[in-house]
Amino acid sequence: MSGSANAAAQAGASKFAEEPAAILDQLRELRTHDAPTHGGHVLSYVYDPGLAALDDLAADAARLMQPVNGLDPTTFGSVAALERDLLGFVRGLLHGDADVVGTVTTGGTESCLLAVKTARDVWRLTHEGTPRLLMPVTAHAAFQKAAHYFGLTLDLIPVSETGEVSVADVESRLGDDVALVVMSAPSYPVAALDPIAEVAALTSERGIALHVDACIGGLVLPFWRGLPAWDFAVPGVTSVSADLHKYGYAPKGVSVLLQRGRDRQRAQYFATTRWPGYPVVNPTILGSKSAGPLAAAWAITHALGRDGFQRLADSCQRSTDAIITAIGNIEGLRVLGTPVGPLLAVAADRSAGLDGQVDPHHWADAARGMGFILQLQPAAAGIPPTTHLTITPVTESVLPELLGVLTKAADAVRGQPHVDATPLLGGLPPLTGPLDSDTAAAILAGFGIGAGGALPDALAPLLAIIEATPPPLAERLLTELLARLVEPPA
């Protein structure tokens, strides 16, 4: 340590209530209880390129921008420069021309919210009444949140058992009150690539906006081999969301929303000069915000370039193909539908008979016991219970081990029926009105979920409860669970 750094450290030590080194030790200790973010053992939430140098670069870039306020690109010109560059990179990937402009947001949900808000405000220029948001039930829940926040009527189109939406069903629901249709590229629950070109032909001839949610696919599908056009190459697509903090491998907090047409995109902005402070004029939901994830994403795109992204996508494609083949060879399981991109859903193969079937939730619990964390998805909207896998470049480095576990976990639970939650639900008091917090906590405790929010080891019974509980009650109970998780001790 240099003399001045040493002096500063000594002077600093007495200024703090707790020593910085001890504080960081606490943080490290807390992190040891988390699911591992690197190494390919968690197949959702995290997107590990398997390149430590890329993570270091991202961390260094974020650190350099740490003190900057991303709110104001006029005061911090670096923010404008990074956004311009990053938007240009993603626009190029998504076949946008000079008429496509955009915004860097803090994540997929913010991009989806803003796509809906923009469409609503453009619709209102020429319509009155309540606008409708039309989308397959497999579109990400962020759009349900958007309809709720921004006062649109949510119109969910049913899908087939394997998650495909029919163009005729979309067409039959189009109308003058539809402010936005959402298609996914691909959808999260089943990885279906919605019929974007066919629906775009219908929406554009009626002047209806069409958003393509490529939050998960946006930085990987451009490199996926053998796909039909799904982005701005399709006339009639009016906006696309794409997350840099997924297959852009950036730390959480960065996504882009691209809109076709400046006039449309200007409706995304909120601007006011009607208060005595600084004019608030921005295209995002947040005000002050970190510029760190933006800088990290920007640095990663420069380090990888298109060739680097192609190599990582190729790795994902090899691993995904291998996993699909392996699951096809496991008696009692099946891959649902035709997944597009590096994610898939696995269901029980009913043709295997009761003894030969593998319940996907018991399977996920067994795989967890063997060191791989898969994501359980409840049966809903006609889609059976499934287990979700997100495949990332690092998956290839653990592929033989993963395939072995997928097979062994299936062998361990084959023939075990899906959990029947009816006996548990039988003990519920009749619900006559809104549930207060203590009653909700008592019901959770009855299900074996304690005040600390500690989840049971086996998640299959919990998912069965979610499947069997009427949605308003299940949503209230899960709210209680999450809210109590962050309550300070009494």
Write out the residues near ligand PLP by the rule CB under 6 A.
107-109, 112, 140, 142, 184, 188, 213, 215-216, 243
Residue 216 or 347: the one with the smaller Cβ distance to ligand PLP is 216
Between the two ends of the chain, the Cα-to-Cα distance in Å is 43
CB of 222 to ligand PLP, least distance (A): 15
Q: Which helix (H) or strand (E) holds 304?
A: helix 292-328
Do 114 and 238 touch, CB atoms closer than 8 A?
Answer: no
Closer to ligand PLP by CB, 104 or 216: give it.
216
Count Cα neighbours of 409 within 13 Å in the Cβ-side half-sphere. Answer: 26
Shortest distance, position 92 Cβ to ligand PLP, whole Å: 21
Closest separation between CB of residue 214 and ligand PLP, Å?
Answer: 7
Residue nearest to ligand PLP (CB): 108
Query: Please, what is the minimum distance in Å from the beta carbon of residue 143 to ligand PLP?
Result: 8
* Residue 191: CB minimum distance to ligand PLP, A: 10
Q: Rounded to an integer, what distance in angstroms lies between the CA atom of residue 483 and that of residue 10?
A: 41
Q: Name the DSSP class of 454.
A: P
**If DSSP codes are grouped into helix, strand and coil, which group holds residue 116?**
helix
- Residue 191 or 444: which CB sits closer to ligand PLP? 191
CB closer to ligand PLP out of 184 and 265: 184
* Phi, psi dihedrals of residue 264, rounded to the nearest 5°: -60, -45
Judged by beta carbon, residue 193 or residue 347, the one nearer ligand PLP is 193
Min separation Cβ 149 and ligand PLP, Å? 14
Distance CA(48)–CA(137), nearest Å, equals 29
Residue closer to ligand PLP, measured from CB, 191 or 409:
191
* Least spacing, CB of residue 358 vs ligand PLP, in Å: 25
DSSP 342: S
Least CB distance from residue 251 to ligand PLP, whole Å? 12
HEC string of 353-391? HHHHCCCHHHHHHHHHHCCCECEEECCECCECCEEEEEC
Q: Where are the beta strands (DSSP E) in 246-395?
A: 255-260, 270-272, 280-282, 333-335, 343-348, 375-377, 386-390
Residues with Cβ within 8 Å of 433's Cβ and at least 6 positions away in sequence, in order, are: none
Select 135 or 440, whichever has its Cβ closest to ligand PLP. 135
Q: Which is nearer to ligand PLP, 216 or 405 (CB)?
A: 216
- CA 237 and chain centroid, separation: 21
Contact (Cβ atoms closer than 8 angstroms) between residue 289 and residue 70 = yes
